[in-house]
Structures are given as structure tokens and as C-alpha cells.
């Protein structure tokens, strides 16, 4: 959705909230409440028609509550009207100066980067990582038999479990690379299923999913791969996640979420 469309949708929400707030305000009693401190206590005062009198916290609590709510509604209405006025000025500028939604989005993006530079930088890294994942598979003939599962993010994976893990990682806004090359200490090149940036430590964690553990040949290759990772300093629970499944025991969403929350939140 374009920035202008977001603004129009937000304006509609504000107008609806303003209508509800004004409707509630009409039901409130006349006058206002004031609170003043006297010694260690706070006193309530009722102002109406140019006069002021003390409010009883016991006998007139209901009136005090309505007047306090009335004040909150008045502040809410003022804030909404200010936001609507800002949106109107934005619309005027858009009509007079900026010719396209793309220009508005560029200006909004530049402003956002100035206000939230760290967040903007990380979002750019997320975008670049996903683009890197796409590009590394573009320009080469994908083996549709090997990479038979297509995810919601446009990548192809070897298994449903890999696609599931990737989608969960992306849903948590994590910086993740799929099958990124990694040089081990023995000189071999491996491509862990996922390489994920851990913002808490400033380091990367690799995630290998071993999905055919009921296959004897696969078991042997898994042991060899794990040994190579250990010798290169990758330890499960420290800087590596290793998950396993068989044809009878598939990995589930709850377990994936638990791992992500444990390592990255």
C-alpha cells in the first residue's frame, strides 16, 4: 500500500474516532474538575458557570469520574483534530508540489531515517538479505526436484520444514540468509540452512535442520557434518541451532517459535 493510501486510511480512522469522542462528550455533565494539592492530600474542585466548589470524594465520586472522563475526551478530540489538520496540510502539499506517490514515499522515508536511523538501517539490511537470497538463486537453473517447496516470500526450499522455519524467522523480523556459504576450519565450504544475525550479541548463528534422520545414510552424513561444525567452533545452544525430524516425528510450529524466542528475544 502506498504512503498516500496509508494516510487516507488513517484519516478515516481518525474521523471515526473523532465522531465517537464528540458523541461521548455530549453525554457528559457541564463544568470541569480541577485537582489541587493541600498538604499531603489532593482536593477535588468543581468549576461550573464561573463558580468553584469542593467535591466530596465519597458522595460525589460519580460526578468526579464523569468530569475526569470529559477532560480526557476533550484532550483526545484536540489531539485528533490536530492530526487531521496535519493530514490536510499534507494533502495540500501533495497536490501542489509532489506529483507522485513515489516522491512522497521518498520524502517520508528520508524523514524516517533521520528520526529512527537504527531501525531504518536494520530494515534496509532485512531488505538486502532477502534480495540476496533471491539473487543467489536467480541466474542459475534451479533443480525443481531438490527445491520443490515455494514459500510465501518467493524462495524455493528443499523441504516444507525449511520453508516453515524461514517464514517464522522472517515473521520475527530477523536478518536471515538461506544456504549462505560458510568456510570451515578444515577448508571445506558448507552452506548452513540458515545464517541468522543475533542483534543481542552482534554475531551470526547458524541453523541446520536435519530432516531425514530415519535414513541410515543421511544419519552418517549428519554426524560428519556436525563433527565438522564442532571442530570449527560451532556448538549447538551457543552459536548453532540443530533441529531433527523423521518421517514419523516432524518438527512443529510451537517448537520453532520456542527456539526463536530462546535465541533471539
Model confidence over 176-204: pLDDT tens digits? 888 888 898 888 899 898 888 887 777 88
Q: What angle (nearest 5°) sits at the alpha carbon of residue 100, between those of residues 96 and 101?
A: 110
The chain-wide mean pLDDT, for the chain, equals 79
Is pLDDT above 80 for 108?
no
Model confidence over 29-39: pLDDT tens digits? 898 888 887 77
- d(CA 194, CA 177) in angstroms, rounded, equals 6
For the residues of 87-104, what is the DSSP string, one character each?
A: HHHHHHHHHHT--SHHHH
The distance from CA 226 to its chain's CA centroid, rounded to whole angstroms, is 33
pLDDT class of 139 with cuts at 50, 70, 90 = very low
pLDDT class of 245 with cuts at 50, 70, 90 = very high
Question: In which order are the strands placed within the sheet that holds 41-48?
Answer: 32-38, 41-48, 51-55
Question: Which segment, 24-28, 41-45, 106-110, 168-172, is predicted with the most confidence on average?
Answer: 24-28
Q: What is the predicted pLDDT for the residue at 228?
A: 92
Q: What is the predicted pLDDT for the residue at 97?
A: 47
Q: Please tell me the chain's helix, strand, coil percentages from 3-state DSSP, rounded to the nearest 5.
A: 50, 20, 30
pLDDT class of 129 with cuts at 50, 70, 90 = low
Least Cα distance to 208 among 184, 187, 185, 186 occurs for 184
pTM surpassing 0.75? Answer: no
Amino acid at each position: 500500500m502506498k504512503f498516500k493510501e496509508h494516510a487516507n486510511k488513517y484519516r478515516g480512522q481518525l474521523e471515526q474516532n473523532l465522531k465517537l469522542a464528540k458523541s461521548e462528550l455530549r453525554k457528559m455533565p457541564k463544568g470541569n474538575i480541577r485537582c489541587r494539592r493541600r498538604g499531603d492530600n489532593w482536593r477535588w474542585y468543581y468549576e461550573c458557570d464561573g463558580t468553584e466548589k469542593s467535591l466530596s470524594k465519597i458522595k460525589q465520586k460519580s460526578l468526579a469520574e464523569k468530569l475526569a472522563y470529559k477532560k480526557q475526551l476533550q484532550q483526545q478530540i484536540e489531539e485528533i483534530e490536530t492530526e487531521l489538520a496535519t493530514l490536510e496540510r499534507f494533502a495540500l502539499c501533495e497536490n501542489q508540489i509532489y506529483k507522485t506517490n513515489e516522491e512522497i514515499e521518498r520524502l517520508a522515508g528520508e524523514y524516517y531515517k533521520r528520526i529512527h536511523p537504527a531501525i531504518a538501517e536494520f530494515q534496509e539490511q532485512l531488505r538486502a538479505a532477502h534480495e540476496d537470497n533471491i539473487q543467489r538463486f536467480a541466474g542459475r537453473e534451479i533443480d525443481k526436484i531438490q527445491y520443490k517447496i515455494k514459500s510465501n516470500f518467493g524462495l524455493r526450499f528443499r523441504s516444507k520444514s525449511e520453508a516453515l522455519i524461514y517464514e517464522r524467522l522472517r515473521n520475527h523480523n530477523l536478518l536471515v540468509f538461506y544456504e549462505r556459504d560458510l568456510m570451515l576450519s578444515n577448508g571445506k565450504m558448507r552452506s548452513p540452512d540458515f545464517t541468522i544475525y543475533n542483534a543481542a550479541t552482534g554475531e551470526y548463528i547458524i541453523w541446520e535442520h536435519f530432516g531425514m534422520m530415519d535414513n541410515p545414510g543421511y544419519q552418517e552424513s549428519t554426524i560428519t557434518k556436525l563433527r565438522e561444525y564442532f571442530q570449527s567452533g560451532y556448538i549447538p545452544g551457543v552459536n548453532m541451532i540443530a533441529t531433527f525430524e523423521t518421517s514419523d516425528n516432524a518438527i512443529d510450529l510451537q517448537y520453532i517459535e520456542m527456539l526463536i524466542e530462546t535465541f533471539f528475544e
